[in-house]
Each structure stands twice: as structure tokens, then as C-alpha cells.
């Protein structure tokens, strides 16, 4: 019998419950997937707690990325067959043993990339892709500050930015996390729980500061992130793990003629050509050994609540994967 982890209403992890269900056959443009690995992301926490809009009245299945095997194919589907290994990013519905997915959201997982790795990197790796290629076009020689460097997106981005020739400074919340980030592309990492990261960036860049700050922490790093930029620098604000920034005025950008963008992966995913290019690049990068995906926490799907507690408690590094 298929089962999923439902959130009964916005709130704490006590609202996550296991329920069995009968999966309908796929619609003409869908396939049925037996899921083998499900990625956990901070967006799941924003949605579970009601920080991001709650899309249905109740009984929401969380989860936005997964990998699995095609078990049945809709009547209008071409290019996918029973037995194919596939992965996807879709808003919600992934904390499930089985589900139907629209073909437009799916990509094949190549040989040489495991299901666990695919589930750990679809959302985070495609995010790293757009941060580096689309939100700011990173070139060799750019200086970068990346917050939460030892996290899921952070460990991927550090390696990728370094491969593009950027000099990357990270921040992280413990000395152990700083060490890990240093092994993943970061040239220097500042423990922002114990040290002033603006002073750190100033010292490390000998006062020239950075071209771009990638800030997914939000309230906890704002407005200091702006103080790390060189004139005409860019802030890419792409998350709020410590809470939303609430005291920002457009005129704040005038302190250095700064640029600010607030992107979301789902807007890139709507473009099928972008998804194919970005996922091919991501999987090639992994397959060739240039990008390591650190699956540092693996739990049964039934323990999704435990995974949430660890992620929101800042007790994880790299990616977390749930196994149905």
C-alpha cells in the first residue's frame, strides 16, 4: 500500500502523520513513480510552519524533490518507459512512497548518479546552478560571500563557484561546519556565531570587499551582508532560514549603488529548456567527479519529523534524504 507523510495543518513537527492511500493511475501527461529517495529542504520547513503560503485546507504532503522508478505511463506520454529512473523538483507532494508526476517535471537520472544523490541534489543543485549562472553571472576572479556554507545548497555552491574560478568566502555556525566548508571549495570560512563576518570579509579582501553576497539566512545576516559588498555589488537574497528581513528600504541600496535580486527556483523550472540544460550540467558535473553531493543525513521517510527538527535546529550539514 502507498503511504505519505501528511502535515495536518500549519505548525510543529507533531502535525506530521503517516497515512496510507490508494494511488490512482497516471493522467495522460503523467507517469506513476515508485519513489526511492526524497530530499529534505528548508522550504519544507517554511511551508510546514506556515511561513510560506499553505496551499490546501489541510492534509498537505510536503516535500519538493525526489527520485524513483517509473511504474506506469499515462496514455499520452512519450520518452519515458516503465523502469526508467527519474528525478524531479515539484512544489509539495514528495514525502510519499508513490505518486504521479507530470512528465514536464521529470528528468532521467544518468548511470553513475545514484537515486539518493539525485534526490539530494535536484532542488539544491539546480538552485546553485541559477545562483551562479542566472542571478549573477560568476566569472573567474569574482569575490563571493556565501552564507550557511556547510548547508545543503552551501556545500554544492562552494565547489561549483570554485570550479568557475571565483574566490569564495563562506560563513557557518560552528568550527566543525567551517572545516567542512573549507573542504568544499571555500577559501576562507568565518564562524558567524563567534566572529563579526563584516570585519572578517574586510580583512580577507584587504578592504576591497566582495562582488556578490548570496544570502539565504535573512534576518540574522541583514543588513551586514550589504556592508560586505564593494560598490555596485549584488546581493542575491534567496532564503530566510533565520526569519524574514523586515527593515529594508530601497534607499538602503544607495550606500553603494547596490543591486538586489530575490529569485526562486520554481520560476526557472517553468522553462523546460532551462531544466534540461541545468540538470544535464548538474549530473555531468557529478558524474565526472567534479562535484560531490554530501548526503550527510539519511532517515526512513517515517522519520520526516526528526529530519525537520535537525534541519531547523542547525544540526545538519550537506543534504538530508528520506528513504520510503
List interacting residues with ligand NAP (CB under 6 A): 41-43, 123-124, 127, 148, 150-154, 172-173, 177, 216-217, 220, 238-239, 241-242, 263-265, 311-312, 314, 316
Q: Closest approach of Cβ 264 to ligand NAP, in Å?
A: 4
Q: Closest approach of Cβ 218 to ligand NAP, in Å?
A: 7
DSSP summary character for residue 304? H
Q: Closest approach of Cβ 78 to ligand NAP, in Å?
A: 30
Q: Closest approach of Cβ 1 to ligand NAP, in Å?
A: 30
Residue whose CB is less far from ligand NAP, 81 or 267:
267
Residue whose CB is less far from ligand NAP, 208 or 264:
264
Residue whose CB is less far from ligand NAP, 71 or 312:
312
Q: What is the largest CA-CA distance in the chain?
A: 62
d(C-alpha 67, C-alpha 106), whole Å: 9
Residue whose CB is less far from ligand NAP, 37 or 43:
43
Q: Rounded to 10 degrees, what is the CA torsion of 191, 226, 219, 292?
A: -50
Q: Show the cell assigned to 316.
A: 545538519
User: In Å, what is the CA distance from 115 to each residue of 29, 57, 108, 163?
Assistant: 23, 32, 11, 24
Long-range contacts of 269-274 (CB under 8 A, 24+ apart): 269/89, 269/105, 269/126, 272/104
Q: Closest approach of Cβ 323 to ligand NAP, in Å?
A: 18
Residue whose CB is less far from ligand NAP, 35 or 241:
241
For strand 259-261 and strand 229-237, is the pairing parallel, antiparallel, or unpaired?
parallel
Residue whose CB is less far from ligand NAP, 30 or 188:
188
Q: Closest approach of Cβ 123 to ligand NAP, in Å?
A: 6
d(C-alpha 287, C-alpha 272), whole Å: 22
Amino acid at each position: 500500500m502507498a503511504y505519505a507523510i501528511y502535515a495536518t495543518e500549519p505548525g510543529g513537527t507533531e502535525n506530521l502523520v503517516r497515512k496510507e492511500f490508494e494511488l490512482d493511475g497516471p493522467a495522460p501527461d503523467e507517469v506513476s513513480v515508485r519513489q526511492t529517495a526524497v530530499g529534505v529542504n528548508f522550504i519544507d520547513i517554511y511551508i510546514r510552519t506556515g511561513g510560506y503560503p499553505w496551499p490546501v485546507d489541510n492534509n498537505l504532503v510536503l516535500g519538493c524533490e525526489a527520485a524513483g522508478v517509473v511504474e506506469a505511463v499515462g496514455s499520452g506520454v512519450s520518452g519515458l518507459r516503465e523502469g526508467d529512473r527519474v528525478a524531479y523538483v515539484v512544489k509539495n507532494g514528495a514525502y510519499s512512497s508513490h505518486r504521479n508526476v507530470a512528465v514536464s517535471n521529470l528528468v532521467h537520472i544518468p548511470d553513475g548518479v545514484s537515486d539518493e544523490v539525485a534526490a539530494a541534489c535536484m532542488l539544491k543543485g539546480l538552485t546553485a546552478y541559477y545562483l551562479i549562472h542566472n542571478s549573477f553571472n560568476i566569472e573567474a576572479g569574482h569575490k563571493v560571500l556565501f552564507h550557511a556554507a556547510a548547508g545543503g545548497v552551501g556545500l554544492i555552491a562552494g565547489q561549483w563557484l570554485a570550479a568557475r574560478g571565483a574566490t569564495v568566502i563562506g560563513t557557518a555556525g560552528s568550527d566543525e561546519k567551517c572545516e567542512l566548508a573549507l573542504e568544499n571549495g571555500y577559501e576562507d570560512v568565518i564562524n558567524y556565531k563567534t566572529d563579526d563576518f563584516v570585519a572578517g570579509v574586510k580583512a580577507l579582501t584587504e578592504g576591497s570587499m566582495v562582488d556578490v553576497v548570496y544570502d539565504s539566512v535573512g534576518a540574522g545576516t541583514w543588513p551586514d551582508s550589504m556592508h560586505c559588498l564593494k560598490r555596485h555589488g549584488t546581493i542575491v537574497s534567496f532564503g530566510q532560514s533565520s526569519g524574514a528581513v523586515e527593515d529594508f528600504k530601497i534607499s538602503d541600496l544607495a550606500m553603494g549603488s547596490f543591486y538586489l535580486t530575490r529569485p526562486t527556483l520554481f520560476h526557472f523550472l517553468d522553462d523546460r529548456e532551462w531544466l534540461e540544460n541545468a540538470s544535464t550540467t548538474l549530473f555531468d558535473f557529478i558524474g565526472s567527479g567534479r562535484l560531490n553531493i554530501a548526503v550527510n543525513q539519511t532517515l526512513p521517510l517515517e522519520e520526516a519529523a526528526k529530519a525537520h527538527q535537525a534541519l531547523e535546529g542547525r544540526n545538519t550539514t550537506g543534504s538530508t534524504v528520506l528513504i520510503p
